[in-house]
Structures are given as structure tokens and as C-alpha cells.
């Protein structure tokens, strides 16, 4: 693995609390890697370790097979989870300053700031203090701060949070463009539909461990299919008694079911027809959201739905999941 950003067995503990354990994944140049996990799963810690803000207890982050040092770090475009800008400094001054710190000449920095503020739609706010900008605009400036010195690697913590749909589109375009230029892009997000659409690879972290890692297609085909049944007259619990069938969610008239291996879906259809008309009956591949919810809910530390730990196949459990599954691309 030559041109790739590699995370090799990263471990970080705070006293007895394990923040990240044996976390291993890599992001080849030109790919977008989506980093997914619940709050506190260890995404931010991992990114901060890559940036040298935190020191790992064990493991190593490498770029082009060499451990990352300050010279490599200067080539990383970084967006911290919380905005990291001087509140009382002009947008342009601030961006030029950051670009200069990364080694750019003043002239090149100014040119680059002009280009990126234009591209990200904050050009007319260049001479305003950052604190005067709306949160969304601050976020755009923050992204500009990660891009002005033309980084060779992008590590972005929650770059999409707080952005309007247009900004999300522009941001997605920028990330794709950067990847096409050969930049490995790692970003974390809770907007899983976006991750599913944008990323080449996805890693799901749970309690400091990488529990799933692969292309979006690989991950989605690893999960069990969901049976979606729309039976408007059916009473709640109509499917509960069918052997080998687990109800995973209900959204409106649609019931989402999971079938144990070997169970005939036609028996489910017959049961549904017995309640009245059936408007929809179909199998769906799980979405990323489904997979993620499954992983979170099957974690004994999360309390609810504890019995599914021993479940052989990933179950699903709530209504939003079902909608996402239904809309699944």
C-alpha cells in the first residue's frame, strides 16, 4: 500500500477508559473514506491522533508508508469537530495566516484565499470578523481553512454539520474533486445517507473498535434483507405470531420484518393478506443507516434491545430505519 493514509492498530486510553483500541484502516489516495460511529465512539480521537494533537498509546499513522511527522502534518487539511478559528479576526486575514503557517508565500496564500472564499460562497465576508458570520458561514470558512494551502490529505471531522443543502452539495463536490486529484479524504459524519452517496469506503466504529469496514456495496450486501409489507388494515402486532419472523419496525402502514434463515416469505404474505389488502410487499437491501443502527443496538452497552446480541443476523429496530431501507438506493 504505497500512496495511502494508513491507521495501524491505533490505541488510546484515558486512565481505564479505552477511547480507541486496535483501530486499523487505510484510505488509498483518491478515495473518500466515511468514518461513522455513535457519539463517543472514538472518531474524533482517531482524527486528532492523525493530526498529532493527541499522542496514541500504541499504533501508528502512516502516509506513503512513513510515520506521520510534522512535515507530513503540514500537508493535511484538517477540520476540527468544533470550529477552530479566531472569533475576532477577519476571515481573509485568518485564512492567509493559516496558509502562511503551512508554508505558503503571502502572494500565493492571498490568491488561494480569494479562490476558495469565492468557491465556498463567503467572498463578500472576507473583511468581516469570523464571529459576525452565521454558523453555516463559519463552517464554510472552516472548510476554506482546511483547503487554502492545498493539502495533500484531508481529514475532516463532521464537515457537513450545520450546512444548508446547497452548501452540502458544494462541499460534496469539493471532496469528490479533491479525491479525483489523488487526495485521500477521511471525514466523519452522522448523515449516513450522505456518507452512503459520497464515500468510496465506509468504516463503522463502535466503542473504539472498527466493527465494519468496506465499500458501501460490500457493507450493504453483508447485512440481511428486510421484508417491507404495506398492509393498511393490519393491526399492530399482526406479524408477531409468524414463526421465524421478527418485527423490526413500523412506519405508517409499512411493517419491516426480518426473516430467520429458511423461513418462507410467502407465509408472511398470506398472513398479511389475511388482514386485508396488501399494497406493497418487497425485499430491500439494508441501508447504511440500517447497518449502523443494528451495530449500535446490538451493543450490550447501549442497554436497549440487548437480546439481539446473540442474534445470528443483524436485526433492525425502528421506523426511520425502515423508511431509509425503503428508500435505499
Partner 1 sequence: MTTSTTPTPRVDFGALPPASARQVIGLVAKRELQTRLKSKAFRIATLVSVLILVALAIIAKLVSGSSSSVVTVGVTPATTTLGQQLVAAAKTVDATVHTQTVPDDATGRAEVRSGKLDGLLVGDGNSVSVVVKTDVDSDMQSALQVLAGEVALNQQITSLGGNPATVGAAIAGAKVAVDPLEPPPAKPQSQQIALGIIAGILIYISLMMSGQLVAQGVVEEKSSRVVELLLATVRPWQLMAGKVLGIGLVGLTQVLIIGLSGVAVGFATGSLSIPASVAASTIVWLLAWFVLGFSAYALAFAAVGALVSRQEDVASTVTPVLMFLVIGYVLGVSILPSSPHSPFMAVLSMIPLFAPTMMPMRIAMTGVPAWQLAIALAGMIVVIPLLVWLSGRIYRNAVVRSGARVRLSDAWRPA
Q: Which is nearer to partner 1, 71 or 217 (CB)?
A: 71
Distances (CA, A) of 65 to 70, 97, 181: 15, 30, 20
Q: Round to whole Å and give the CA distance between 92 and 83.
A: 16
**Minimum distance from residue 28 beta carbon to partner 1 (Å):** 18
Annotate 232-252 with b (16+ C-beta within 10 A) or e (fewer): eebeeebbeebeebbbbbbbe
Q: Which is nearer to partner 1, 155 or 192 (CB)?
A: 155
**Minimum distance from residue 217 beta carbon to partner 1 (Å):** 25
Q: Round to whole Å and give the CA distance between 29 and 182.
A: 5
The footprint of partner 1 (CB under 8 A) covers 48, 51-55, 70-71, 73-76, 78, 80, 82-89, 97-98, 100-104, 108, 112, 115-116, 118-121, 140, 145, 147, 149-152, 166-167, 169-170, 173, 177, 181
Q: Which is nearer to partner 1, 153 or 204 (CB)?
A: 153
Contact 30, 183 (CB under 8 A): yes
Q: Which is nearer to partner 1, 134 or 181 (CB)?
A: 181
Q: Which of 292, 284, 295, 296 is nearest to 322 (CA)?
A: 284
Q: Which is nearer to partner 1, 82 or 217 (CB)?
A: 82
**Minimum distance from residue 37 beta carbon to partner 1 (Å):** 20
**Minimum distance from residue 17 beta carbon to partner 1 (Å):** 14
- Compute CA 329 distance to the chain's CA centroid, rounded to the nearest angstrom: 17
Sign of CA dihedral 306, 307, 312, 313: negative
**Minimum distance from residue 151 beta carbon to partner 1 (Å):** 8
Amino acid at each position: 500500500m504505497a500512496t495511502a493514509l494508513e491507521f495501524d492498530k491505533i490505541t488510546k486510553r484515558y486512565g481505564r477508559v479505552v477511547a480507541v483500541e486496535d483501530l486499523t484502516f487505510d484510505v488509498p489516495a483518491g478515495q473518500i473514506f466515511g468514518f461513522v460511529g455513535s457519539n463517543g465512539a472514538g472518531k474524533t480521537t482517531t482524527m486528532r491522533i492523525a493530526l498529532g494533537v493527541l499522542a496514541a498509546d500504541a499504533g501508528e499513522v502512516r502516509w506513503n508508508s512513513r510515520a506521520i511527522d510534522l512535515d507530513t502534518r503540514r500537508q493535511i487539511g484538517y477540520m476540527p469537530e468544533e470550529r477552530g478559528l479566531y472569533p475576532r479576526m477577519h476571515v481573509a486575514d485568518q485564512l492567509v495566516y493559516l496558509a502562511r503557517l503551512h508554508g505558503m508565500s503571502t502572494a500565493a496564500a492571498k490568491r488561494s484565499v480569494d479562490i476558495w472564499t469565492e468557491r465556498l460562497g463567503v467572498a463578500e465576508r472576507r473583511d468581516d470578523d469570523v464571529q459576525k458570520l452565521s454558523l453555516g458561514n463559519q463552517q464554510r470558512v472552516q472548510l476554506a481553512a482546511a483547503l487554502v494551502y492545498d493539502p495533500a490529505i484531508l481529514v475532516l471531522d463532521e464537515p457537513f454539520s450545520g450546512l444548508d443543502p446547497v452548501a452540502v452539495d458544494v462541499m460534496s463536490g469539493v471532496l469528490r474533486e479533491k479525491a479525483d486529484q489523488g487526495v485521500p479524504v477521511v471525514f466523519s459524519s452522522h448523515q449516513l445517507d450522505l456518507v452512503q452517496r459520497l464515500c468510496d469506503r465506509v468504516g463503522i466504529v463502535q466503542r473504539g473498535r472498527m466493527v465494519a469496514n468496506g465499500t458501501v456495496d460490500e457493507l450493504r450486501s453483508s447485512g440481511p434483507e428486510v421484508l417491507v409489507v404495506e398492509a393498511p388494515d393490519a393491526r399492530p402486532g399482526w406479524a408477531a405470531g409468524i414463526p421465524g419472523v421478527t418485527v423490526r419496525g413500523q412506519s405508517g402502514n409499512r411493517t419491516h420484518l426480518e426473516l430467520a434463515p429458511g423461513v418462507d416469505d410467502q407465509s408472511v404474505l398470506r398472513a398479511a393478506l389475511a388482514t386485508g389488502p396488501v399494497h406493497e410487499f418487497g425485499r430491500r437491501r439494508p441501508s447504511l443507516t440500517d447497518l449502523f443502527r443494528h451495530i449500535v443496538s446490538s451493543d450490550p452497552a447501549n442497554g436497549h434491545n440487548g437480546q439481539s446480541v446473540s442474534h445470528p443476523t443483524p436485526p433492525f429496530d425502528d421506523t426511520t430505519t425502515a423508511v431509509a431501507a425503503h428508500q435505499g438506493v
